[in-house]
Amino acid sequence: MVTRKKYLWQHPSGRWYVRKDGKYYRIYAEEGTPEFDEEYWEIRRGKRHESKRSWSVLIEEFRHSQKWAGYEPRYREDLEKSFIYLNKKIGKRDVARLTAADIYKAMDKNAHRVNFANYIPVAVTLLAKLARRKGWLHENPAAGIERLRVPDERKKPHIPWTDAAVETWRNNASELPMLIFELGVGTVQRPGDLNGFTWLHYKDKNLDLTQNKTGVELQLPCTPNLIAQLDRLKAAIGEKAKPDRPILANEDGSPMSYYKIARVMRAERGRLGVLAHDLHAMRYRGVMELAWAGCDDDEIMSYSGHKTKKMVIKYAGFARQVMRAKTAAEKRKLWEQLLNETSTKQETDTGGDTL
- The domain that contains 122 carries what CATH number? 1.10.150.130
Q: Are residues 272 and 177 both part of a single domain?
A: yes
Please report whether residue 163 resides in a domain.
no
Please report whether residue 304 resides in a domain.
no
- Domain end among 148, 179, 198: 148
Please report whether residue 227 resides in a domain.
yes
- Domain end among 276, 306, 326: 276
Residue 1: predicted pLDDT: 44
Q: Are residues 230 and 208 both part of a single domain?
A: yes
Instruction: Identify the three-state secondary structure at position 199.
Output: helix
CA dist., res. 150 & res. 259, Å (int): 21
Q: Are residues 141 and 238 both part of a single domain?
A: no
Q: Are residues 113 and 137 both part of a single domain?
A: yes
Please report whether residue 116 resides in a domain.
yes
Q: Are residues 16 and 45 both part of a single domain?
A: yes
| 23 sits in which H/E element | strand 23-27
Give the tens place of pLDDT for each residue, 93-139: 889 889 999 999 999 999 988 989 999 999 999 999 999 999 999 99
Q: Are residues 79 and 123 both part of a single domain?
A: yes
Among 27, 67, 55, 66, smallest CA distance to 120 is for 55
Please report whether residue 331 resides in a domain.
no
CA dist., res. 110 & res. 88, Å (int): 15
The domain of 7 spans 1-49
CA dist., res. 3 & res. 298, Å (int): 71
Q: Are residues 270 and 196 both part of a single domain?
A: yes
Please report whether residue 309 resides in a domain.
no
* Cβ–Cβ < 8 Å for 179, 229: yes
* Cβ–Cβ < 8 Å for 124, 103: yes
- The domain that contains 258 carries what CATH number? 1.10.443.10
Residue 152: predicted pLDDT: 65
Please report whether residue 349 resides in a domain.
no
- Domain end among 276, 294, 320: 276
Angle, vertex CA 169, rays to CA 167 and CA 170, nearest 5: 65
Give the tens place of pLDDT for each residue, 49-105: 556 788 999 999 999 999 898 887 778 888 999 999 999 989 888 898 899 999 999
Please report whether residue 320 resides in a domain.
no
Q: Are residues 115 and 175 both part of a single domain?
A: no
CA dist., res. 193 & res. 217, Å (int): 12
CA dist., res. 135 & res. 129, Å (int): 10
Residue 309: predicted pLDDT: 77
Among 264, 65, 286, 69, smallest CA distance to 180 is for 264
Number of domains in the chain: 3
Q: Are residues 196 and 101 both part of a single domain?
A: no
Give me the torsion for CA of 166, 167, 168, 170, rounded to 10°. Answer: 80
pTM, rounded to two decimals? 0.59
Residue 350: predicted pLDDT: 62
| 161 φψ region: left (φ > 0), alpha (ψ -120 to 50), beta (else) | beta
CB atoms within 10 A of CB 248: 20
Among 115, 125, 126, smallest CA distance to 81 is for 115
